[in-house]
Amino acid sequence: MRIITYRRIKEFIKVHSESENALNYWYHTVSSKNWDHLNELKQDFNNVDYIGNHRFVFNIKGNDFRLIAIISFKAKKVYIRYIGTHSDYDKIKDIKNI
């Protein structure tokens, strides 16, 4: 899968350095895959949640952080829409349109 864009991960790590290993693991795992559907994604990330509108929520570092991505299985692309702490994630009013 092609991840758009790693820059968001780098910027988040600058502020939350404790997320670095977990986010790099997520990045390398996702970029090495070629998923065709949710069931294949769940084999690698069993805690991922589909929230509608092509958006998926990943728990990062034991649920300390959340990453929301739009996944286009057909185009083989993952668009990072949000990375934040769990508490910041809980403040989002409309996660289906982030």
User: What domains does the chain contain, in order, with CATH numbers?
Assistant: 2-97 (3.30.2310.20)
Average pLDDT over residues 10-32: 97
pLDDT > 90: percent of the chain: 84
- 3-state SS, the chain, equals CEEECHHHHHHHHHHCHHHHHHHHHHHHHHHCCCCCCHHHHHHHCCCCEEEECCEEEEEECCCCEEEEEEEECCCCEEEEEEEEEHHHHHCCCCHHHC
Please state whether the predicted TM-score (pTM) of the whole model is above 0.75.
yes
pLDDT of residue 95: 78
Question: pLDDT tens for residues 53-71?
Answer: 999 999 999 889 999 999 9
Question: pLDDT tens for residues 76-97?
Answer: 999 999 999 988 888 888 877 7
